[in-house]
Structure 1
Amino acid sequence: MLNKRMEFILEELEEKNSIRVTDISKLLECSEVTVRNDIQKLEEMGLLNRVHGGATKAGASVAVFYNSETVNKNADKKQLIAQKAYEYIDDNDTIILDDASTSYYLAKVIKENPGKHVLVITNSLMAAGELSNVKHVDLFLLGGQVGGKLSSTMGDVTIKNLEECHADKAFISAHGVNFDAGITSIGSPQMQIKKTILKVSKEVYLLVDSSKFGGGYVLTVSPLSEIKKIITDSEIKKEYLEMARQREVAIDIV
């Protein structure tokens, strides 16, 4: 016997293919424990699959595991940045999403807005999971070895796949932004992917929250002159905005 909460959960899954416990808890105005218990019962009935933090439709058997702390950190800012980034996507664009958590949030925005047909190329299993079986999205998942905190493909195979692609726009993030050095990274595999994305894309947008500016760095991905625009949140320090102005770096504040 299904209660009304369970029926609601199944209706949401039918529409979205996946749900998060936190979202359902807010929509139903009940505790996350209650939602988890309902999801567990529905799984026992074979009506859905439980995954970390939520559930997917029955039959969607691939679960993507990720570092939830990385994804959830500054989530409100990342969501605003993703919504702004979506404004730069045109109907029938071919775009690239990298493996960053902000790109994952952009994938969710794309999924929720069927008004634009988009071809998406990505190495992010999280983004691919959001966009698979979405009618207004043609999805191309880059091959390669899977690794990293956010489950993405990387390595020589991924780079070779990327080199054969061409995109109107790319949306990437970075470990840091240094106005003297440019886009910075701490990992060579991720750095090589981003370098290749820059080569095969007409325009590249950098999606970074305000915590990414300044500080030290180990590796440099590219100078900021190769970026079409930076999109960040309103907590960016005034000194960084002044640096952007002096160096003629386009920046959107959300």
Structure 2
Amino acid sequence: MLIECFFEARESLIEREWKMLSTIERRQKIVLLTEQKGNVSVKQLAETFDISTVTIRSDLNELNRLGLIVRSRGGAVTSNRLTKELSIKEKHTKNHKIKQKLGQAVANLIEDGDAIILDSGSTTEEVAHCLIGKKELTVMTNGLNIANELAQSEGCDVFITGGRLRKKSMSFYGIHAEERLRYYNFSKVILGVDGIDIDRGISTHYEPEANFNRAMCDNAQQIIVVTDSSKFGKRSLHSIIKLDAIDVLVTDSNIPKEFVDVIKNLNIELHIVNIK
């Protein structure tokens, strides 16, 4: 009986918190609910957030415009353009051979003596592995897996950004870590992404990580993005930067042609790894 009362009280508290959300926060919750359930109705959402069906329809229309959900009659369903977040362990097994080639291609762009900041992730871990033979390299990273990989490199001086560890992605984040970046000047930042879209740019699933990635870009002379072709045409919930802010993009030969044309028009240096 006590356990039932506890869960009822907890659900009631969660409902009250959701009713006080801002428009942005509410829309984020709608996307997450849609992803979890597969589909949601206007009526259910109006009751959940204790707002009018007119407001919910406005939310759904805007989220549909952004490609984060797909409007359906009376509600919404998940968008196949919205990427699902995988754990770092799951990411390791997906397109692993391609990521190894991408890692080498990015490492070829790094010169001895460079000071770089390397993002967390499975693809960037392959980059780290390929950097082991470099000399007089300074690397700051927000990835625990990245630091562990580079620990075996004699020619690499490794710094951790610090902050709070997010175990799902093995990455550090937080305001204090962002503040620390302001005291450094990096020649290059290397970013992995969860989604890359022509209109919305590059994106990731977790808002604090998106904020931290933007701080990384603000403190580097050159922005290098590395991603396998499966991420093109996909969107995650939180945008990092627009496409035209990227200096160099490294991907594989399955990149959609429409992206190649856009990237060239934006004068982004494009490196395509042949995997066929």
For residue 218 of structure 1, report the CA deviation from its aligned partner: 2.6
Alpha-carbon distance in structure 1 between the residues aligned to 2:186 and 2:199: 28
Q: What residue number does 1:84 align with? A: 105
Of residues 55, 64, 71, the one that matches 2:92 is: 71
TM (normalized to structure 1)? 0.70
One-letter code aligned to 2:230: S
For residue 246 of structure 1, report the CA deviation from its aligned partner: 3.1
The 3-state SS of whatever aligns with 1:127 is helix
Residues 71-128 of structure 1: per-residue CA shift (max 9 Å, x gap) = 22111111111111111111110010011211111111112x24x3210000100010
Of 89-98 and 66-75, the range deviating more from structure 2: 66-75
Of 219-228 and 237-246, the range deviating more from structure 2: 237-246
1:46-125 map, 5 Å: 67-111=88-132, 113-114=133-134, 116-125=135-144
TM (normalized to structure 2)? 0.64
1:133-152 map, 5 Å: 133-152=152-171
Alpha-carbon distance in structure 2 between the residues aligned to 1:138 and 1:201: 18
For residue 133 of structure 1, report the CA deviation from its aligned partner: 4.6
| 4+ residue runs over 6 A deviation | none
> How many residues matched?
187
One-letter code aligned to 1:209: D
Q: Which structure would you say has the larger Rg?
A: 2
Distance 1:216 1:121, change over 3 A: closer
Alpha-carbon distance in structure 2 between the residues aligned to 1:247 and 1:83: 25
Of residues 188, 192, 208, the one that matches 1:169 is: 188
1:1-254 map, 5 Å: 67-111=88-132, 113-114=133-134, 116-254=135-273
For residue 217 of structure 1, report the CA deviation from its aligned partner: 4.1
Q: What residue number does 1:53 align with? A: none
Alpha-carbon distance in structure 1 between the residues aligned to 2:107 and 2:188: 11
Percent identical among aligned pairs is: 29
For residue 228 of structure 1, report the CA deviation from its aligned partner: 1.1
Residues 190-237 of structure 1: per-residue CA shift (max 9 Å, x gap) = 101110011000001000100111134432211122211110001112
Alpha-carbon distance in structure 1 between the residues aligned to 2:267 and 2:197: 14
Distance 1:165 1:69, change over 3 A: same
Contact kept in structure 2, 1:171 and 1:206, CA below 8 Å: yes
Contact kept in structure 1, 2:120 and 2:171, CA below 8 Å: yes
* Gap regions ≥5 residues in structure 1: 1-65
